[in-house]
């Protein structure tokens, strides 16, 4: 046995101990048992039993599984790519030890290069490359955690949240996104693991953005993560999930569910940047409910993956509620970003704004799929939609599928859609000032993204710009 | 006359756009410290000439020589020409949404110097030059040419010239779309820039800019050729008698 394998085994067994200590999981036989591919009630039962969950959750999982099995694969969007995904050839629950099956050598070269160029630290690389289960951020997080606890804020991974705050979870879990919503939300409900649980007490203003990154580990970056955020009356929070570095996983499917609830007068901003490796199907359901005078903002960036289908939604259910969705998608060759936004106006005097930006490069394809629905009772509501697509190269593709359903006449709705190319005139203008053609093209792309990047915390904006720079390298107009 | 140092020289330049020859063999020598004006009616090839000299990929120089300080620039790309010391103030500057004037200028300076400009030095420089050109400080954070009026765009072109400080500046119809106050401000900017070491080529339809920026030589471009050259008085004569006058003169000559 080579030294490296020995060392790896040692690391893995150390990890095993750590996991047992942390999650109180003491069944060595089961622990090393390798789960089977595919999904059935036995798998769901095993997940629930291992997590020592309350009965109601187990029941939810089983019901959701039946819904998942009964629903057909969507017959819209990129059906060709969706049909290629073999749902029977996926592990639906992997114990951490099984997740560590690949070594650094297996991580694709382009991912490693990107880590190099972004200057990602060693410990983080292993985690992001799926080689190590734990990113050592505990130290950073620890002092912050105490501060949050003092304010009564609950910020836990979803599994722990369920264990410690069962009643709160039970009250809200699946109320915004029921398992019946769509096939992948049903799948998530039946096999979910990890994700974040966040509760902000009434009137509390969380001054610093809360980042899942602080407490990142394999569990909450899982395939089927489940996140639930509740901002109680008059509270404010900005939550940031994901990072710009590419995340490599051998799992081909990522299907998360994220539910946000902003109670009266509350404010939630949820910022995500995801950059999955380009083998991944990223089929995520994100939805928020904004009650009276509450505001929810989704700031959603999608890079990487093979196919992303993601349409952040805000339901404006209380009078005076406001929703905003700002999204950006970057599709390179072999990738399809089918992203968009949904706003449901279900109360009077509600307002919303959707800004969607997409960049398609090479043979990449970006689609905007959006819905604005204004119910009969939602009088004096305002909605605006703006879609901008930028094409780089002759083969890049962009499509727009906007839907408007307006059931009353006392509303103001604006819609604007633009498709542009990096114009020769822009390139000449910038090159005549001394920028090389690549520098000029990058500046134009960064400018195009500016309405999005300016909403990000500085370090994310800088990282995103660098990442776009890497994506743009050597691209031919 | 012996102290004249050639700065920017082009010889027998022919320019083609979409396979059509629009400039048919023009030559000019601009010495250090000189201002030349190229005047001509619409469609005479003025803009084609300035775009071609700057290296626009759609304007091909099919024949002739172009050099700056004795160095051949004809084979250079636009960005290389810029870094070699050439500048073109555009007739219709393009908008670059999302890129602020300050960010753009800093990026351009970096391209010229090969390194980032010191932040506080850059701010001082930008602030001073903007003040000189009566550009509101808020323009530093506005997106380049995005929603600017014609006059604002022209001022910002001159701002770029002042900051990049080229050896030869080609100013394409910089006076068009300016009211009298803006024309004065822009002219003052051009005069401030001008010194004994650099050169300016003004391309214009009208004489009025030349009331403020005094050319040493005036050349009349018609149908892709220089048909007449002279001193500043030529511009005045053109203003008075129009381009028909030159055309008639050419016809007369042809008869003789």
Q: For residue A417, what are the β-bridge partners?
A: A387
Task: Report phi then psi at B35, rounded to 5.
Answer: -115, 125
**Could you read off the pLDDT of A169-206 as tens digits, one per residue?**
999 999 999 999 999 999 999 999 888 899 999 999 99
Mutation pick from B50, B55, B97 vs chain A, by most beta carbons of A within 10 Å, is: B97
Task: Determine contact: B73 vs chain A, CB below 8 A.
Answer: no
| Helices B101-113 + B119-132 axis angle, to 10 | 120
Task: Report phi then psi at A413, rounded to 5.
Answer: -125, 130
For tokens 């920028």, name the residue.
A435
| Listed residue (A40, A41, A18, A16) closest to A30, CA to CA | A16
Task: Determine contact: B59 vs chain A, CB below 8 A.
Answer: no
Which two structure tokens, joined as six digits, stand for B22?
């629009």
Q: Is the pLDDT of residue A338 over 60?
A: yes
Which two structure tokens, joined as six digits, stand for A27?
């069944």
Q: Which residues contact A173 (CB under 8 A, 6 or more apart)?
A: A57, A60, A228, A259
- Check residue A409 and report its DSSP letter: S
Burial of B44 (0-12, 13-18, 19+ CB in 10 A): buried
Q: In chain B, what are the domain boundaries? A: 6-96+149-255
Residue A87 has a pLDDT of: 85
Helices (H), chain B: 46-54, 78-84, 101-113, 119-132, 150-164, 180-193, 232-255
Q: For A55-90, give the DSSP string.
A: HHHHHHHHHHHHHHHHSPPPSSSSHHHHHH--GGGS
Residue A26 has a pLDDT of: 29
A·B CB contacts under 8 A = 77
pLDDT band for position A128 (50/70/90)?
Answer: low
Q: Note whether A248 and A221 are within 8 A (CB).
A: no
- By Cβ distance, the residue of B78, B107, B160 closest to A443 is B107
Q: Residue A388's closest chain B neighbor by CA?
A: B97
Q: For B50-79, give the DSSP string.
A: HHHHHT-TTEEEEEEEEEETTEE-TTS-HH
Strands A196-200 and A295-304: unpaired
Between A88 and B3, the higher pLDDT residue: A88
Between A241 and B50, the higher pLDDT residue: B50
| Listed residue (A99, A73, A210, A72) closest to A154, CA to CA | A210
Terminal C-alpha separation, chain B: 34
**Could you read off the pLDDT of A387-437 as tens digits, one per residue?**
999 998 889 999 999 999 999 999 999 998 888 888 889 999 999 999 999
Q: Note whether A216 and A127 are within 8 A (CB).
A: yes
Burial of A327 (0-12, 13-18, 19+ CB in 10 A): buried
Q: Residue A423's closest chain B neighbor by CA?
A: B94
Q: Note whether B14 and B45 are within 8 A (CB).
A: no
| Listed residue (A252, A315, A209, A230) closest to A90, CA to CA | A252
How far apart, in Å, are the Cα atoms of A227 and each of A167, A193, A424?
A: 16, 10, 45
How far apart CA A137 and CA A172 sit, in angstroms, is 29
pLDDT band for position A165 (50/70/90)?
Answer: very high
Q: Is the pLDDT of residue A247 over 70?
A: no
Query: Would you tell me how many other CB atoms lie within 10 Å of the CB of residue A416?
Result: 10
Range name among A103-112, A121-130, A243-252, B203-212 with the lowest pLDDT average: A121-130
Q: What is the mean pLDDT of chain B?
A: 93
* CA distance to partner chain B, nearest, from residue A380 (Å): 31
**Is the CB of A447 less than 8 angstroms away from the CB of B107?**
no
**Could you read off the pLDDT of B30-61 as tens digits, one per residue?**
999 999 999 998 889 999 999 999 999 999 99
| Listed residue (B72, B52, B70) closest to B61, CA to CA | B52
For tokens 């626009």, name the residue.
B56
- Chain CA centroid to CA B139, Å: 23
Q: For residue A428, what are the β-bridge partners?
A: none
**Could you read off the pLDDT of B53-108 as tens digits, one per residue?**
999 999 999 999 999 999 999 999 999 999 999 999 999 999 999 999 999 999 99
Domain B6-96+149-255 has CATH 3.40.50.720: no
Summarize chain B as % helix, strand, coil (round to 5): 40, 25, 30
Q: Is the pLDDT of residue A154 over 80?
A: yes
**Per-residue pLDDT averaged across A204-227, rounded?**
70
| Listed residue (B199, B230, B131) closest to B246, CA to CA | B230
**Could you read off the pLDDT of B109-141 as tens digits, one per residue?**
999 999 888 889 999 999 999 999 999 999 999
Query: Would you tell me how many other CB atoms lie within 10 Å of the CB of residue A222?
Result: 24
Between A114 and A13, the higher pLDDT residue: A114
Q: Which residues contact A273 (CB under 8 A, 6 or more apart)?
A: A242, A243, A244, A301, A303, A456, A460, A464
Burial of A172 (0-12, 13-18, 19+ CB in 10 A): middle
- By Cβ distance, the residue of B98, B107, B160 closest to A450 is B98
**Is the CB of A429 less than 8 angstroms away from the CB of B94?**
yes
């Amino acid at each position: 046995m080579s030294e490296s394998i020995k060392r790896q085994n040692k690391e893995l067994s150390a990890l095993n101990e750590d996991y047992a200590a942390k999650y109180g999981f003491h069944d060595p036989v089961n622990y090393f048992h390798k789960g089977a591919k595919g999904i059935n009630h036995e798998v769901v039962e095993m997940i629930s039993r291992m997590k020592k969950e309350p009965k109601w959750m187990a029941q939810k999982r089983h019901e959701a599984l039946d819904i998942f099995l009964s629903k057909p694969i969507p017959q819209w969007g990129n059906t060709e790519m969706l049909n290629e995904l073999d749902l029977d050839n996926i592990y639906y629950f992997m114990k951490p030890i099984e997740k560590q099956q690949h070594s650094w050598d297996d991580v694709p070269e382009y991912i490693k290069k990107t880590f190099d160029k972004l200057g990602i630290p060693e410990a983080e690389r292993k985690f992001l490359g799926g080689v190590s289960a734990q990113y050592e951020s505990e130290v950073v997080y620890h002092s912050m955690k105490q501060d949050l606890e003092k304010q009564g804020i609950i910020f836990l991974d979803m599994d722990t949240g369920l264990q410690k705050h069962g009643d709160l979870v039970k009250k809200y879990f699946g109320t915004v996104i029921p398992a019946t919503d769509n096939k992948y939300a049903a799948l998530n409900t039946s096999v979910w693991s990890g994700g974040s649980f966040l509760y902000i007490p009434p009137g509390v203003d969380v001054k610093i953005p809360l980042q899942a990154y602080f407490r990142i580990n394999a569990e909450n970056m899982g395939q089927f993560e489940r996140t639930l955020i509740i901002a109680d009356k008059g509270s404010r929070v900005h939550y940031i999930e994901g990072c710009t570095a590419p995340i490599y996983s051998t799992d081909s499917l990522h299907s998360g569910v994220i539910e946000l609830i902003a109670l009266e007068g509350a404010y939630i901003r949820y910022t995500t940047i995801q950059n999955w490796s380009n083998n991944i199907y990223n089929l995520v359901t994100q939805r928020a409910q904004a009650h009276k005078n509450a505001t929810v903002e989704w700031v959603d960036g999608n890079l990487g993956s093979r196919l992303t289908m993601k349409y952040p939604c805000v339901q404006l259910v209380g009078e005076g509620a406001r929703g905003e969705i700002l999204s950006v998608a970057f599709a390179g060759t072999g990738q399809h970003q089918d992203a968009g936004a949904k706003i449901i106006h279900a109360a009077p005097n509600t307002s919303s704004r959707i800004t969607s930006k997409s960049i398609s490069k090479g043979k990449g394809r970006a689609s905007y799929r959006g819905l604005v629905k204004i119910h009969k009772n939602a009088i004096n509501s305002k909605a605006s939609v703006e879609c901008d697509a930028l094409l780089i190269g002759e083969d890049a593709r962009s499509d727009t599928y906007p839907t408007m359903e307006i059931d009353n006449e006392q509303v103001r709705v604006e819609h604007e859609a633009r498709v542009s190319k990096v114009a020769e005139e822009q390139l000449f203008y910038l090159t005549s000032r001394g920028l090389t053609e690549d520098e000029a093209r990058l500046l134009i792309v960064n400018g195009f993204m500016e309405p999005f990047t300016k909403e990000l915390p500085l370090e994310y904006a800088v990282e995103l710009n660098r990442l776009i720079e890497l994506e743009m390298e050597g691209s031919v107009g | 006359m012996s102290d004249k140092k050639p700065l920017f020289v082009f010889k027998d330049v022919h320019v083609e756009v979409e396979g059509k020859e629009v400039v048919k063999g023009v030559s000019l020598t601009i010495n250090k410290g000189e201002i030349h004006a190229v005047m001509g009616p619409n469609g005479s090839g003025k803009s084609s000439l300035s775009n071609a000299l700057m290296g626009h990929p759609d304007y091909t120089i099919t024949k002739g020589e172009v050099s700056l300080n004795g160095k051949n620039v004809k084979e250079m790309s636009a960005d290389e020409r810029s870094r070699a010391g050439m500048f073109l103030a555009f007739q219709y500057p393009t908008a670059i949404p999302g890129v602020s004037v300050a960010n753009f200028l800093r990026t351009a300076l970096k391209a010229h110097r090969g390194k980032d400009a010191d932040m506080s030095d850059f701010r001082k420089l930008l602030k001073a030059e903007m003040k000189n050109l009566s550009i509101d400080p808020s323009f530093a954070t506005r997106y380049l040419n995005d929603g600017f009026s014609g006059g604002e765009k022209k001022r910002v072109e001159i701002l770029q010239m002042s900051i990049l400080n080229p050896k030869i500046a080609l100013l394409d119809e910089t006076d068009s779309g300016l009211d009298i106050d803006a024309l004065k401000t822009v002219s003052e900017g051009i005069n401030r820039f001008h010194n004994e070491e650099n050169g300016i080529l003004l391309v214009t339809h009208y004489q009025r800019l030349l009331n403020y920026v005094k050319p040493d030589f005036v050349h009349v471009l018609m149908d892709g050729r220089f048909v007449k050259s002279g001193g500043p008085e030529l511009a005045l004569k053109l203003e008075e008698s129009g381009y028909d006058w030159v055309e008639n003169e050419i016809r007369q000559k042809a008869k003789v």
